[in-house]
Structure 1
Amino acid sequence: MELFRDKLPPLNEGVAPETEDVRAALQRLVRSSTFAGSQRLQDFLVYVVEESLNGRADEIRAKTIAMDVYGGTVAEMSRRENVVRVDAGRLRRKLVEYYAADGRDEGTVFDLPKGGYAPQISIRSPEMAQPGLPEPKSIPRAWPRPFIGIVGAFILLCGAAAFALLSTKREVPTSLPVEGLSRDERSAIFDASPMRLQAVNLANSGRDLIFPALEPARLSAALTIFKAAIESDDSYFGGHAGAAQVASTISLLTSDTDLSRDMLRYADTQASRAIELAPESGWSQSAKAWVEFTKGNWPEAVKFSYRAQRLAPNDVHVLEFVSLVLLYSGSFEQVVEISEETLSKVVLDRGYVFQNAMGSAKFHLKDFEGAVSAFEQVTEKGGPVGPVSVAYLMAAHQMLGNESKAKSLSEKLSREWPDSRVDLLFQSLFENPKYGVELGDAMKRAGWRPKS
């Protein structure tokens, strides 16, 4: 975790923070927008910090976390220990994201060094705290206008660089192009232009921030990072493709019509630039597909989606957008087919949105057991969790007759996302609104009531 610490202002080594300050900082962290919707990671961090404060840091093991935090039977412990290891990596990445944004002025810093699960808790010098960035507004309020100043760019560059460097250490098969480039390719790019490599690293780190897309802070941070990639090397297509995807998503979600129009115009320009620079890239094609979807051009969106899938059949980030376009177009069988084909070829280090899309598609195909299984697998692998996945999981359990489980999920949705109107969102996203109505009806039968 040294890379992470190098990207933060200097810490006061050897200075132990007060227990009261640690717990206060921990509460600010778990209540932050960065950790919103990541209940398991919140529980993970709270547990290891409390164990450390109570003098049991040396006793923290994957097995103790699996038993005390995740629960389950003895027979399930082996599987749950694997989940702990995956979640530890997710938590490290979340901490990088937190201290680059919500926690940029935080004085008490939590670190989870690799090789163990005992946290390191340090004090950051107040005079070295990072300058503030504008607070992102939340949906449905207007999003902040895209802007990147010199100071803000530097902070996000540092945080994203750490995030990208940490991401390259994931233990995933070489056939899975999560990062898109091999070590030799990265070395070759560095020899030609270190700024190009920086742009590549930034763009790849930005891809991991896009989902869950209903978290405004994530999209704001992702757009800033992609803009920084463009500033590093305007000729690298990835910065433009990523900026197009994020700006289109903001255009879809904001209630500010002027901002929506501006974001869509910007996204269209960036997608065209990505196509111009790298028409053979699945990422460029998927960005174009997402922009066309946002514009309501369904035939074009589907055409570019299929092309993107053919060009990059194993790129999980490309498949995230491809599967969503096909899902909203009502091509449910194709979503399931593409997703299952990908899962048969690659081993994933975590869950991805295309798996959630497969769960949604199975719901609309009336395969409710398959829908539940898909969403639960994403959750267990540390994939994106938000009101959309909870809503579909709730609806699927209701259709299976698991009313108590459905009611429990309904209560969680109302408690943790009280203003969420997933039903209305999906009526606006689907080419045929009846599928959004179908979801909303199942949610209401489970006891969910929209906030008036």
Structure 2
Amino acid sequence: MDTLRLAGKISVREVTYPKIASKLTHYLFENMTETKGNSTCRDKSGNDLSVEEKRAAVASVVESRIFANSPRLKEFLIYVTEKSLSEEGADLSAKSIGFHLYGRDTVDETNSANFVRVEAGRLRRSLDDYYDSDGRADAVRVQIRKGGYAPTFERHVVSAQSPAADGTARPLLSGGPKKLRLVLFACVLLAVIALGVFEVLRPGPRPDDAELAARVERQALMEQSPAALEAANMALQARGLIYPIFDAHRQMLTTELFRAAIEIDPNSALPYAGAAQTLGSLALLSIAGARHDNFLAEAREMRDRALELDADHEWVQSAAGWVAFVERDFESAMRYSERALSLAPENGNVLDFYGVVAVASGEFEKGLQAGDRDRPREGENTRFAYLNILGAAYFHLGLYHEAISAFEEGNASGGPVSALGVVYLAAAYSSVGREQDGRRMIDQIEKSWPGFPIEEFLTRLHREPDTARQLVKKLRSVGWSE
């Protein structure tokens, strides 16, 4: 039973030698050290820690690889730490942090609190990532608990041995045959891992896990048939051309690529999933009427065929979520999209469709998480679409300056440009008093997308009518009219 439980600690999706070694080492420490029934000694109050130890713990975090590209999170952690260590620690409110650290307007308390809450959430997630990786062996850990901003510190010391009941030191291998069987099994497994580590460390270029998995998949498809491999390759290439998803001409062209892939191999789920997404977007852009109904009917057919062929593929689940979204079944759309994300949490295409569904469904915090600049992303080229998602989420949370920054960064980086993105940017400019820039964006919409039905499309896109009305009101204030 011990060996089965140990094997169960290692997920099948994570079977690489370095990850197995890390998990096994952690498991052995947890199970082979005892301190009154607990595997570690922790003082969660942090009362026994000196100021120097607390500052050193924070320094380890901000100097780590995880925080290398997050200067704002570094500033946040250092600021709240220093405040908590001083006599001013009691004033760690969202209003105070927003004003003193970020220069936020103290009069607009709601937007300031939203901004600080979002940054605190990002910091908590990054701290979790740090202590799950580079900081796993740190003797002192810092956390920002939910519901507040003051940091807490705790010791995190793994005992090499623990005292027995009579006060004498207990040997590491005490515990009888059960413990001995575990140790023997661990030794055998470690020997196997050592061979694998030799392979990993052997000189010469080696593909990463994602590339290795892709190679294996391509080899399997080739063994199935050259047509299967060609169809999958064409579908993946077309997938990178989907963005911007709210551009009708692009969706029409990309749909034809997916149709061509289907002709090459009618039994490949991927081109059906892609066609379901592009046809769903065309139905959404058509608003209503016969064109809308025809596009949506075909999108459903493509979705159903994809689910029939490979329901466990993240792209198929993402496509099913998108079609449900176009059908205005927002609960199913989120459920499918979250399932896709659980299957491929770092896939950029899955993240982007999930983010759009989340923002349009009113789940703005989830939209922020999907568009987080620091979130790992992989997969076919999505052309910085996540920055538009981030900008829209910021806008609906009342963080207009941050929204403008995200949209402008996306445009400067070569991100996808669509009428919807320009609409949001115009509304954000209007919200911060930049009427001239807002009017300039309105002129661009009328020149580049003449006749684009802004109000109808926003109403069709968003779950709540008030969300669409908020945008329209901002546009009218800078001169837009139906």
TM-score of the aligned structures, taking structure 2 as reference length: 0.53
Distance 1:347 1:239 in 2: 19
Q: What's the CA shift for 1:241? A: 0.5
Q: Cα gap change, 1:175/1:361 in structure 2, threshold over 3 Å: closer, same or farther? A: farther
Matched residue type, 1:271? R
1:247 paired residue number: 279
Query: 1:428: how far off?
Result: 1.6
Q: Give the aligned residue type for 2:375.
A: S
Cα offset, 1:352, TM superposition: 3.2
Paired with 1:252 and 1:210, the residues of 2 have a C-alpha distance of 15
Equivalent residue in structure 2 for 1:423, among 455, 465, 479: 455
CA contact (8 A) 1:351 1:377 kept: no
Distance of 2:226 and 2:240 partners within structure 1: 22
- 2:481 & 2:210 partners in 1: Cα distance? 41
Give 1:345's aligned amino acid.
Answer: P
Write the distance in 1 (CA, Å) between the matches of 2:413 and 2:210: 16
1:194 alignment counterpart = 226
1:378 match: 410
Are 2:314 and 1:260 aligned? no
Q: Is 1:344 matched up with 2:396?
A: no
Contact 1:320 1:352 in 2 (8 A): no
- Secondary structure of 2:417's counterpart equals coil
1:211 is aligned, of 231, 243, 254, to 243
Which amino acid counterpart does residue 476 of structure 2 have in structure 1? K
Deviation at 1:187, TM superposition (A): 4.0
**1:329 alignment counterpart:** 361
The residue number in structure 1 matching 2:426 is 394
User: Pick from 322, 326, 330: which aligns with 1:290?
Assistant: 322
SS of 1:270 mapped into structure 2: helix
Please give the alpha-carbon distance, in whole angstroms, between the structure 2 residues aligned to 1:176 and 1:374: 28
The one-letter amino acid paired with 1:292 is: A
Alignment of 1:10-409 (within 5 A): 182-254=214-286, 257-340=289-372, 343-346=374-377, 351-409=383-441
1:237-270 CA-partner distances (Å, limit 9, x unpaired): 1111111111111222225623322322221122
Distance 2:385 2:410 in 1: 8
- 3-state DSSP of counterpart to 2:439: helix
The structure-2 alpha-carbon separation of the partners of 1:414 and 1:215, relative to structure 1 and needing over 3 Å to count, comes to same
Q: SS at 1:345's partner residue? A: coil
Structure 1 CA distance for aligned equivalents of residues 470 and 377 of structure 2: 33
* Letter paired with 1:239: P
Root-mean-square deviation (Å): 2.4
How far has the Cα of 1:442 moved from its partner?
0.7
**Deviations, residues 278-326 of structure 1 (Å, cap 9, x unaligned):** 2221111111111111112121111111111111111111122211111
- What is the CA distance between 1:226 and its match in structure 2? 0.9
- 8 Å Cα contact 1:243-1:270 kept in structure 2: yes
2:384/2:415 contact within 8 Å kept: yes
- Higher radius of gyration, 1 or 2: 2
Please tell me whether the aligned partners of residues 426 and 438 of structure 2 are also in contact (alpha carbons under 8 angstroms): yes
Q: 2-side partners of 1:249 and 1:304: how far apart?
A: 17
1:388 CA displacement: 1.0
Distance 1:181 1:415, change over 3 A: farther
2-side partners of 1:358 and 1:289: how far apart? 20
User: 1: distance between equivalents of 2:288 and 2:463?
Assistant: 22
| Structure 2 counterpart of 1:211, one-letter code | Y
The alpha-carbon distance between structure 1 residues 213 and 183, as it changes in their structure 2 partners (threshold 3 A), is same
Alpha-carbon separation, structure 1, partners of 2:435 and 2:321:
38
Deviation of the 1:192 alpha carbon: 3.5
CA distance in 1, matches of 2:434, 2:274: 40
Shift of 1:350: 6.4
Work out which structure has the larger RCO, using CA pairs closer than 8 Å and 6 or more positions apart in sequence.
1
Q: Which runs of 4+ in 1 moved over 6 A?
A: 347-350
Structure 2 contact 429–437 (Cα < 8 Å) conserved: yes
**Do 2:370 and 2:386's aligned partners in 1 also have CA atoms closer than 8 Å?**
no
Structure 2 stretches lacking a partner, 5+ long? 1-206
Distance 1:259 1:350, change over 3 A: closer
CA deviation profile, 1:432-451 (whole Å, cap 9, x unmatched): 0111111111111122233x
Q: Is the 8 A contact 1:326 1:334 kept in 2?
A: yes
Partners of 1:175 and 1:433 lie apart in 2 by: 44
The Cα offsets for residues 163-205 of structure 1, whole Å up to 9 and x where unpaired, read as xxxxxxxxxx96778xx96345434433432111111111112
Cα distance between partner residues in 1 of 2:363 and 2:377:
23
Shift of 1:272: 2.0
Contact kept? 1:324, 1:354, Cα under 8 Å: no
Q: Separation in 2 of the partners of 1:343 and 1:246?
A: 28
**Structure 1: unaligned runs, 5 residues or longer:** 1-172
Tell me the CA shift for residue 354 of structure 1.
3.2
The answer to which of 240-249 and 271-280 deviates more is 271-280
Q: Distance in 2 between matches of 1:393 and 1:175?
A: 38
Inter-partner Cα distance in structure 2 for 1:445 and 1:370? 20
Kindly indicate whether the alpha-carbon contact (under 8 Å) linking 2:287 and 2:457 is maintained by their aligned counterparts in 1: no
**Secondary structure, counterpart of 2:375 in structure 1:** helix
Instruction: Return the TM-score normalized by structure 1.
Output: 0.57
Identity %: 31
Alignment check: 8 A CA contact 2:232 2:261 kept: yes
